Amino acid sequence: MKCGRSTFVPAVAEVRLAVRQALSALPVDAARVLVALSGGADSLALAAATAFEARSRGLEVVSLTVDHGLQEGSSDAAERAAAQAASLGIRSRVTRVDVGAEGGPEAAAREARYAALRAVAEEEGVAAVLLGHTLDDQAETVLLGLARGSGAGSLQGMAASRDDGVVWLRPLLGVRRETTRECCAASDLEPWDDPHNLDDRYARVRVRQQVLPVLEAELGPRVAEALARTADQLREDAEAFDDMIAETIEDIVEHAEAGIAVSVAALAANPAALRNRIIRHVVASEFGASLSRVQTLEVARLVTDWSGQGPIDLPGCTAERRAGQIVFAAR
């Protein structure tokens, strides 16, 4: 039985409700959505629930399965996923991508996948792209961010909704991975298990198979939920800081030759947390670069502990104290 007829199965109902809530945020005149379909349990349950919920809204559902070509039989797995989507009444598409080597295999595959999704989303004119990340994925992302030690920004996890020219929705961030498997089983959908998800060469796999199970065994079975809640709270805090920065930055920033300048006095008047965020925001927005905490603190020392030190080399720019300003200039 397909997910459309599995009304009284709790797992099916939970996945459908999550999708319904996500779709409710779309404009009333939305005509089409795109589901990223790997063929795994998460994306397959997402596709089935989206097909069911879209009917009452008059939405067309298109799926895209990206064949990364990284393992033998990948094209067969992609075609199988597309066939299952078609059985749900979804217009399915498959695309093959070339995965580079920059940043490692995981990052390169992710970059190629998102580029393909963006291209098809723009071609199809969809209202949103739906991604199958679950609460477990969110918990893993928070733990990986904690290991990187790059501050609260890395602990915010994945946003449930993001608009960067394409609207990306993650309806299942509150749904456990085991629930998506139960949804597929109740719906006679057989998911594909990616061998890479069992390869402990990847940090995310080690977190999934070793770290989270130990935490849940030692600290209790709700650790994943707690990590996901932490991500939500930190994201709320970050949004509040972003609003404060937007209000503050208009008064303290001015254009300079080959870059941008920020008032030393204004930076010094702000608390350290806000001052550091302003520094990172200026470099990111003006030069498209991300600063590490060490780099951010070195720039902050030009404000709080200046003893005549010269320019600081940063990704894409330099920072220098000059005439009561911190001047960021392109290199």
Q: What are the pLDDT digits (tens) for 243-271?
A: 878 778 888 888 887 789 999 999 999 89
pLDDT band at 6 (very low <50, low <70, confident <90, very high): very low
* pLDDT over 90 (residue 62): yes
* pLDDT over 90 (residue 50): yes
Sheet holding 317-322, edge to edge: 253-256, 259-263, 325-330, 317-322, 312-314
Q: Are 40 and 179 in contact (CB under 8 A)?
A: no
Higher-confidence residue of 118 and 197: namely 118
Could you report the per-residue pLDDT of 292-328, keeping only the tens digit for each? 889 999 999 999 999 998 899 999 999 999 999 999 9
Look at residue 194 in the predicted model and tell me its pLDDT: 80
Spatial separation of the C-alpha atoms in residues 213 and 8, rounded to whole Å:
30
Report the candidate in 180, 170, 132, 169 with the shortest Cα–Cα distance to residue 6. 180
Query: What residue type is 158 in one-letter code?
Result: M
Structure tokens at 207: 């977190």
Domains of the chain: 3-227 (3.40.50.620), 257-330 (3.30.465.60)
Q: How large is the greatest C-alpha to C-alpha distance in the chain, in angstroms? A: 73
Look at residue 195 in the predicted model and tell me its pLDDT: 78
User: Within 10 Å of residue 164's Cβ, how many Cβ atoms?
Assistant: 7
pLDDT band at 131 (very low <50, low <70, confident <90, very high): very high
Eight-class DSSP state of 268: H
Spatial separation of the C-alpha atoms in residues 289 and 291, rounded to whole Å:
7
User: What average pLDDT does the chain have?
Assistant: 90
Could you report the per-residue pLDDT of 134-168, keeping only the tens digit for each? 999 999 999 998 887 766 767 888 999 999 999 99
Report the candidate in 239, 238, 306 with the shortest Cα–Cα distance to residue 267. 306
pTM summary value: 0.81
Q: How many angstroms separate the Cα of 126 from the Cα of each of 35, 67, 82, 117, 129? A: 10, 21, 18, 11, 7
* Stretch (H or E) spanning 129: strand 128-130
Spatial separation of the C-alpha atoms in residues 287 and 314, rounded to whole Å:
10
Look at residue 150 in the predicted model and tell me its pLDDT: 60
Could you report the per-residue pLDDT of 76-99, keeping only the tens digit for each? 999 999 999 999 999 999 999 888
Higher-confidence residue of 169 and 254: namely 169
CB proximity list for 227: less than 8 A, separation 6 or greater: 138, 139, 142, 143
Sheet holding 32-36, edge to edge: 91-96, 60-67, 32-36, 128-130, 167-169, 161-163
User: Within 10 Å of residue 215's Cβ, how many Cβ atoms?
Assistant: 18
Render 46-95 in DSSP notation, one character per residue. Answer: HHHHHHHHHHHHT-EEEEEEEE---STTHHHHHHHHHHHHHHTT-EEEEE
Higher-confidence residue of 73 and 232: namely 232
